[in-house]
Amino acid sequence: MEDLRFMGLALREARAAAALGEVPVGAVVVVGGEVVASAHNRRELDGDPTAHAELLAVRRAAEARGHWRLHDATVYITLEPCPMCAGAMVNARVARVVFGAFDPKAGASGSLYRLLEDRRLNHRCEVRSGVLEGLCAAELTRFFRALRQGKGLPKPRPSARDRED
């Protein structure tokens, strides 16, 4: 039940990203049942190819906790992490990763690779996939359908919350 609640918060972040013209991916980092950080994609806003939701959330969580090791954290992400983000979570020693939709083109936790669980690495994360998968996938489908249909996307506009980041 807790996974559903926190994935719902990650979905809220994904919707905030879409409203800004970003690919709708959201992430939440939880420790001891409390959200310590959250983020959504900001690649277009920041002009930064590494500004993925989960990478930003992990950075914020480490900053909030004053340490890079997140051995007691769970990261909730609406989309299966890519190799870059999976590598960051392994390096941060994240305990658990929960994601919604699979990413057949870039997924590093089951679709293409299994980096989070690779025994050759110095750390492995427990993984749970498919949480609120339909809702997470629907956000992405809606976003890309609008893009393909030429409806365009909202021009990236930082909200008051985003300007604080």
Known catalytic residues are 54
The amino acid occupying position 63 is: E
The partner residues of 28 in beta bridges, in order of sequence, read 38, 76
Tokens of 101: 């939709």
Tokens of 138: 């629907």
Cβ-based neighbours of 96, under 8 Å, separated by 6 or more: 73, 74, 75, 125, 126, 127, 128
Pairing of strands 73-79, 26-31: antiparallel
CB-based burial of residue 119 (10 Å sphere; 0-12 exposed, 13-18 middle, 19+ buried)?
Answer: exposed
Tokens of 134: 């339909």
